[in-house]
Amino acid sequence: MKYCLVIPDGAADNPIDSLGGKTPLEAADIANMDAVARGGAVGTVVTIPEGFPPGSDVAIMSVLGYAPEQYYCGRAPLEAASMGLELGQRDWAVRCNLVTIAGGRMADYSAGHISPAEGAQIIASLNAELGGSGIEFHAGKGYRNILVMRNMGQLEVETTPPHDIAGQEVKEHLPRGPDAAALRRLMDRSQAVLAGHDVNKRRKAGQKPPATSIWLWGQGRPARFPSFEEVYGVRAAVITAVDLVAGICALAGWQRIVVPGATGYYDTDYRGKAQAAAAGLEVYDLVFVHVEAPDEAAHNRDPKAKVAVLEEIDRHVVGPLGEALGRFGAHRMMVLPDHYTFLSTGAHAGGAVPFALCGDRVPSSGVQGFSEKTAAAGKAFASGPELMRAFLGKGDQWGL
């Protein structure tokens, strides 16, 4: 059996007036996702357990079959694993966004989607000026970077994702708690380092948002997962441009297939991802294709872009992979968002997300398309691990 999992990140949404009262999934021309739903099973799955933050760290961990209640450790350690950063038991990893703060408000959670080369230059400067004595800045991709705090012991602090406070005053959302002072101090000091940075001078000259500060959040200690192959008996690989997703998969023993044109934004190489996934199915039992673009469009509160990238995923990822799977005989494909990302707020949200699953021994639902509404009439799964077991035929769902 060959398996293909496609996650259009943050695709689930509420109806939008500018889309004629439809959700992006309903408004988009997604004939291939519709075919998966029509020819297979649809339903909903709770990917964010009650009491957990509604982010991709929790949701994708859940979808991939790992109960967040047992394995969640914070977001940053998962990204650190993807970057090959070794963390001791007394070390903490913290997500370090490069952001644009203007007039005291979060003007841009990504500093205008600053490029990886620019981000790396800024992180190098921060490390030179603020690093040392157990403080390390590590460059990720663009605005997504990691701070490591060595031998910290405890770090009792509450933080807020910057993409959840777009346009809001930042003073209401700064790190808080007994150990917040250390993070706030680094954030304050970063502003002086960045104020006259050459990267920012060039960005301003090009009418691009400068990186005015770091924003620290998503802290956690080292993560430990059992091997996916040992737990589920399946050899798996992932295609993603997002370190968080790659880190979860690395901890689970998955292989990463690198696509040079994968960016984590609208301009990602959709065709390249599908081609790499098809080739990966020759070697692995399961290939997971993650596409970040719908989530970014929702954070930017851009309905047209969210519809457009969903159509790109449908046309250039889901369609070709459906054809490729047909060459392997027995197979299954599943498509689902990891969580909701509302265009109305630009923020993540919990709630049962829709899924569509087709293939060997999966009966037809008979629905006409894939959307939040059509999926609500199908089988409801209480957790991601429960759905993963059904996807892999490890339970009795659908008569397996």
pLDDT in tens, the chain (400 residues): 999 999 999 999 999 999 999 999 999 999 999 999 999 999 999 999 999 999 999 999 999 999 999 999 999 999 999 899 999 999 999 999 999 999 999 999 999 999 999 999 999 999 999 999 999 999 999 999 999 999 988 999 999 999 999 999 999 999 999 999 999 999 999 999 999 999 999 999 999 999 999 999 999 999 889 999 999 999 999 999 998 999 999 999 999 999 999 999 999 999 999 999 999 999 999 999 999 999 999 999 999 999 999 999 999 999 999 999 999 989 999 999 999 999 999 999 999 999 999 999 999 998 999 999 999 999 999 999 999 999 999 865 554 3
Give me the numbers of helices (H) and strands (E) for the chain, helices first please.
16, 15
| Residue whose token pair is 């050459």 | 198
Tell me if 265 sits within 8 A of 113, measured CB to CB.
yes
Phi and psi, residue 84, nearest 5°? 75, 20
Please tell me what DSSP assigns to residue 223: P
Q: Where on the phi/psi map is residue 104: left (φ > 0), alpha (ψ -120 to 50), or beta? A: left
- Residue 107 to residue 166: CA distance in whole angstroms: 6
Closest CA to 371 of 320, 337, 398, 344: 337
**Measured between alpha carbons, how far is residue 362 from residues 41, 320, 370 in Å?**
7, 20, 16
Q: Which helix (H) or strand (E) holds 156?
A: none
**Measured between alpha carbons, how far is residue 113 from residues 97, 229, 259, 383 in Å?**
11, 36, 19, 33
| Residue whose token pair is 């959700």 | 23
Please tell me what DSSP assigns to residue 92: E
CB half-sphere exposure, 166, CA atoms < 13 A:
19
Domains detected in the chain: 2-72+226-399 (3.40.720.10), 82-220 (no CATH)
